[in-house]
Structures are given as structure tokens and as C-alpha cells.
Amino acid sequence: MAKHLLLIFTRNPELGKVKTRLAKTVGNKTALDIYQFLLQKTKDVALEVNTDRAVYYSVKIRENDIWNPSTFKKHLQQGDDLGIRMRNAFKEGFDKGYEKIIIVGSDLYDLTANDIEKSFELLNTNDVVIGPAEDGGYYLLGMNYLHEKIFKDKAWGTESVRKDTLENLFDKKVKLLEIKNDIDVYEDIVNIPEIMNMFINTK
């Protein structure tokens, strides 16, 4: 069996610094509560997958948090923009001998263990697997060797990211998963009762 690695990129959960667009509607405290809920959900999903796991913190590595070091290796994101930070995380994994690496964010309510397991399997017959997000980006990226160019010259956080990434991979075999929606603004949570209840109960 190939050596698999799951990378999880997180923001340090601090008041006023996470889900800032969502906070404009629900307030900083509720936005933080929602993000912590999504972190927990991401952790639970990751633990269902038979893989090595690494969590990459945005600002500072925390010791006594939800990411148990016995099951999640802890790292700090390195680089000036998201592309460089992701590229460095992938490179670190491949340099350690991993044969398939998948990265996910920590703000996707709909992500399942099956999505991740299926992606590892798809890398048997594809160069890259991408989980497209509704906003034009992606919620999952998997590869079996480092494709440097997809991490460069992107307007991260904009609707052009996935299109530009696919253009970089025109000569590679790419598999797209189903479109899912990450949680960025109020409209993203209105159809998720579990999260809406958190908002309603704090009003």
C-alpha cells in the first residue's frame, strides 16, 4: 500500500481573526464558534481515514488543542502566500517519502472521509485530484508528485483559482470530484441547520 499523507491547513482560532466575512453578519464570537465547530468536524473526518495526518497552523503551533500529536503531526505554514505555503507542505511530505498527498482546508461542512479515501484511490490512475468549491477555488487537492506551477501566480481567494490551476495541468490527467461549498459568508450557512442553530441560539 502506498504511503499516504493528509494535510490539513487551519487558521489559529482567535476572536476577530477567523471567518471575517461571516462575522460581518453573525458577529465575531459566533464566527469563532462556527469555525471551532468546523475544525472539530474536520478532525473527526480525518480520523476516519486510514492515513498519516499533519495539521499546518497559520500563525503558531498550539500544544493543548483538539489536534492530538499522537495522531496529527504539527507544523507551521511557511511562505508569503497560500500557494507557497501549500507547495512547501506538499514538498515536505514528498521529501519524507510519501507517495500520495492530499490537502484539505478546515472550513468545509460537507467534507466526508469517503471524499478523502476516494481521492487517494483516484490517484492510482490520475496525476491530480481536485475537489472544486462553488466559489471557483477548491476544497481538496491531491497529487502523487509535486506539480510546482499550480502553486504560482494565482489570485488566491478569487473565483479564477480553479480555472487557472486546470490550465496549468492541461497535459496531466486530472479528476474532478463533486462540487462542494466551503463556509465563508452567511449565505453559506443558511441551509445547514446544525450551524444555523448556533447562530440563532446566540441571538
DSSP 109-142: TT--HHHHHHHHHHTTT-SEEEEEBTTSSEEEEE
Judge contact between 68 and 88, C-beta under 8 A.
Answer: no
Fold type of domain 4-201: Spore Coat Polysaccharide Biosynthesis Protein SpsA; Chain A (3.90.550)
Largest CA distance in the chain: 52
| Domain assignments of the chain as residue spans, ordered by start | 4-201
Query: What pLDDT was estimated at residue 129?
Result: 98
Question: Structure pTM?
Answer: 0.94
Judge contact between 93 and 54, C-beta under 8 A.
Answer: yes
pLDDT tens, N- to C-terminus, the chain (203 residues): 459 999 999 999 999 999 999 999 999 999 999 999 999 999 999 999 999 999 999 999 999 999 999 999 999 999 999 999 999 999 999 999 999 999 999 989 999 999 999 999 999 999 999 999 988 889 999 999 999 999 998 888 788 999 999 999 999 999 999 999 888 889 899 888 888 887 676 55
